[in-house]
Amino acid sequence: HMGHFYLTSKLMPTILRTPGRPRIVNVTSVAHEWGHIDFENVNSDGMLGYPAAGWLTYGRTKLANIYFTYELHRRLREFGGDGGHVDVNCVHPGIVDTEIPRSLSVNFYPLLKSIGGLITPEEGARGQIDVATGPKYEGISGKYIAEQSGPNNPGGVKGSFAIAKSSRWSYDADVAARLWERSKVMTGAAWDSIGETK
């Protein structure tokens, strides 16, 4: 999350000057559904961090990506002017056949692969590419777009994407705003391009 946050802050002046409707796309995951933000341990240090509870930590980071997406959308619309023409969304690419679980204590990918539960990297990339460049998402902002064949949509078509509901926790605007402020402190990111002071 912190990398997304900092990089976007650095690119924002250029994004705001870009003609048309520039798009920001954050990659998240269905794993956000088991995440929560621990403001006492934002980096997930210690025993309950990545080594012992990797999937929970991964879920936290993916939830943070969604909070960032929703909060950036809100702040851009509040800023108005050039910010009103920037669209920001997040995409769950699907459960993709990659090496993501290679260093986690639990790796259920071989089982998922054996039952046809994974999609190819090419299928997973479709959503990000479509949200970034496709006409279907022109003028759409502040949304969670999800691959449609996962556990929340049995029988869905692999590699197809649609706007979906993220977890109920992800809509907590107070947590999103608090995470934004904590992220500014932790990264030193400046958002003066959208009217914020340090």
Q: Which of 48-52, 63-67, 177-181 has the lowest mean pLDDT?
A: 48-52
The whole-number pLDDT of residue 108 equals: 64
- Of residues 83, 56, 82, 90, the one with CA closest to residue 170: 90
Global pTM value:
0.89
Cα distance between residue 148 and residue 163, in whole Å: 10
Residue 105 CB partners (closer than 8 Å, separation 6+): 51, 52, 53, 54
In the block, tokens 């999103």 appear at: 176
The whole-number pLDDT of residue 104 equals: 64
CA-to-CA separations, 67 to 27, 73, 172, in angstroms, rounded: 12, 10, 8
- Reply yes or no on whether 171 is catalytic: no
Single out the catalytic residue among 58, 70, 109, 137.
58
**Position 135: which residue type?**
P
Angle at 125 between CA 161 and CA 59, to 5 degrees: 75
Question: Which of the two residues, 60 and 49, has the higher pLDDT score?
Answer: 60
Question: Do the Cβ atoms of 1 and 183 come closer than 8 Å?
Answer: yes
The whole-number pLDDT of residue 10 equals: 97
pLDDT in tens, 121-167: 888 899 999 999 999 999 999 999 998 876 666 677 787 789 999 99
The whole-number pLDDT of residue 85 equals: 94
pLDDT in tens, 77-133: 999 888 899 999 999 987 767 766 666 666 666 666 666 667 788 888 999 999 999
Cα distance between residue 142 and residue 182, in whole Å: 21
